[in-house]
């Protein structure tokens, strides 16, 4: 039988000992557990981007994986601590939207618990590090085969992030940049599903106009738009960095024009 898996997604970075401490708690409470880092460099306190990281990676893990996520500006306040079970995966973290993209309430088999039973936590709980004191012990309990229902009271609702969808105005889609990856690629909120049957003619971002979608980072072009590996429209400078070379950042508007748009003069 293979070891249980716990993934970690946090904004703790790797220069302090927060992540190492959580791993110690996991290994102490669930000997042999396999710990896998998804990402610890979520920008500090950025719940939205933490939620995006978790949602992008979690679905590639095997059934039974426990996903422990901590981006928690409200630690020590009245925000709830929760554990969810969706699609055969467990999710543990604060109820601030962080889990809501990976484990949306709209999922058919969604179930959740408010973590209200301190007997499953560390004996002493700080007001500043629930990753260590609450979430890691709970994740270890679930990884060891414990039952979700024991951990607290059933939930009917969690805080969910409302990611802005692009707006369609006639024959154009108005979206924006929602993330920038390590390569400087600009990730937009325009999804492949938004473009089904749309017939992309050109994309405008800042002062730049890109004609049509490329199928890859086409090195013969200075600037390309393509669908990225997660199904989002992405703007890239092949061999360079769109963010740096174009001096563009998160929240920059992006417009997609369809071939039917009369202003193209076609």
Chain residues in the site for its own copies (CB under 8 A): 2-3, 5, 7, 9, 11-21, 23-25, 27-28, 31-32, 34-42, 44-45, 52-54, 56-62, 65, 73-77, 126-129, 132-133, 181-184, 215-217, 219, 226, 228-229, 234, 239, 241
Nearest distance from residue 266's CB to its own copies, in Å?
27
Residue closer to its own copies by CB (options 61, 198) is 61
DSSP string, 4-48: PEEEEEES--SSSSHHHHHHHHHHHHSTT-EEEEEES-SPTT-HH
Shorter beta-carbon distance to its own copies: residue 40 or 202:
40
Place of tokens 């061999």: 239
Kindly tell me which of 68 and 113 has the beta carbon lying closer to its own copies: 68
Instruction: Kindly state the smallest distance separating residue 243's Cβ from its own copies, in Å.
Output: 12
Identity of the residue, 131 or 166, whose beta carbon is nearer to its own copies in the bound complex: 131
In the chain, the N- to C-terminal Cα span, in Å, equals 63
Chain center to CA of 121: 26
Output the CA–CA distances (angstroms, integers) from residue 46 to 19, 94, 238, in the order listed. 17, 13, 28
> Shortest distance, CB of residue 228 to its own copies, whole angstroms?
6
Question: CB–CB of 22/6 below 8 Å?
Answer: no
Least Å distance between CB 154 and its own copies? 27
Count the helix, strand and coil residues of the chain and give each as a percent rounded to the nearest 5: 20, 30, 50
- Cα 8-9-10 angle, rounded to 5 deg: 115
**How far is 155 from 163, CA to CA, in rounded Å?**
22
Q: How far is the CB of 237 from its own copies (least distance, A)?
A: 11
Q: How far is the CB of 47 from its own copies (least distance, A)?
A: 12
Per DSSP, what are the bridge partners of residue 173?
Answer: 168, 256
Q: Kindly tell me which of 130 and 155 has the beta carbon lying closer to its own copies.
A: 130
Nearer to its own copies, 13 or 253 (CB): 13
Q: Which is nearer to its own copies, 137 or 175 (CB)?
A: 137
Q: Comparing C-alpha atoms, which of 224, 179, 218 is closest to residue 205?
A: 224
* Closest approach of its own copies to the CB of residue 149, in Å: 26
Beta strands per DSSP E along 23-116? 34-39, 66-70, 81-86, 89-94, 111-115
């Amino acid at each position: 039988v293979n070891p249980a898996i716990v993934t970690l997604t946090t904004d703790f970075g790797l220069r302090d000992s927060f992540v190492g401490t959580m791993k110690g708690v996991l290994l102490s409470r669930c000997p042999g557990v396999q710990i896998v880092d998804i990402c610890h460099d979520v920008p500090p306190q950025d719940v939205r981007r933490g939620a995006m990281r978790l949602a992008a990676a979690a679905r590639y893990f095997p059934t039974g994986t426990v996903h422990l996520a901590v981006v928690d500006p409200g630690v020590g306040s009245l925000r709830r601590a929760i554990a969810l079970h969706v699609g055969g995966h467990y999710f543990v973290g604060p109820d601030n939207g962080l889990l809501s993209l990976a484990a949306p309430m709209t999922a058919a088999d969604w179930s959740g618990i408010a973590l209200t039973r301190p007997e499953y936590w560390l004996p002493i709980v700080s007001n500043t590090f629930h990753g260590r004191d609450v979430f890691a012990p709970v994740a270890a309990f679930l990884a060891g085969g414990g039952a979700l229902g024991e951990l607290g009271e059933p939930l009917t609702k969690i805080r969910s992030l409302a990611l802005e969808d692009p707006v369609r105005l006639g024959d154009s889609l108005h979206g924006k940049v929602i993330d920038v990856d390590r390569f400087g690629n600009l990730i937009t909120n325009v999804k492949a599903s938004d473009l089904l049957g749309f017939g992309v003619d050109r994309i405008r971002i800042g002062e730049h106009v890109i004609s049509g979608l490329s199928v890859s980072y086409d090195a013969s072009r200075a600037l390309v738009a393509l669908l990225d590996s997660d199904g989002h429209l992405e703007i890239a400078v092949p061999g360079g960095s769109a963010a740096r070379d174009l001096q563009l950042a998160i929240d920059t508007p992006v417009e997609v024009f369809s071939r039917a748009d009369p202003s193209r003069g076609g």
